[in-house]
Amino acid sequence: MTMFERPAIAAVNHLLSRQPELSRKLSAYASKAARIDTGVMQLNLAVAADGSLQTATAAPDVTITINPSDLPQILANMERAFSYVSISGDAEFARAISEVANGLHWELEEDLAPFVGDIGAMRIAAAARAAVGKAKAGSRKLAENLAEYLLEENPMLLYRRTGEGFATEVGVLRDDVERLAKRIALLEKQAGSAT
């Protein structure tokens, strides 16, 4: 068992306990095992009879391989997460995992309410969502500003249309130089035959 398996299993089981319809969907695959391989770490999960997850001890029925460079896209758009992975093994089980993964939702307010009350939980959750929204907007703005700097102020990169225009101009210049070279050769030949 890796050090990430226990917390990952506990987190998913917590979410499944709040969404029993997803647990029922998984319980149809009781005793099946899945491996999620990111290249950096592996999670070996098995489905228990009640639809919860546990550490797998058997060989996986399905292996889901995630390229580490795709993790930011996956985290940014969980609805399309399975379009970034490669899957081998039991296709039905893999589809069920995908449906469950897309259906899992964390209700922050429900988890905070026992500690800070309903109103406090709502305010903390709203503040957290606002902070995440501002962080996303800030990172998007930073990327836009960096791109503008690299394209406009300190041109280390080119706009595609600028590069294509330059390539076209180079092609025209090359053709002109070739025509000029042929003309010079013709003039030299004419000058040599005249003497």
Helices (H), 1-86: 5-18, 20-27, 71-76
| Separation of alpha carbons 47 and 9, rounded Å | 11
Nearest to 98 by CA among 123, 112, 79: 79
In a 3-state reduction of DSSP, which class is residue 172?
helix
pLDDT (0 to 100) of residue 147 = 76
pLDDT (0 to 100) of residue 146 = 79
- The model carries a pTM of 0.57
- Report which listed range, 83-87, 139-143, 184-188, is most confident: 184-188
Ramachandran class of 118: left when φ > 0, alpha when ψ lies in -120 to 50, beta otherwise: alpha
2 pLDDT higher than 70: no
59 pLDDT higher than 80: yes
Indicate the average pLDDT of the chain: 85
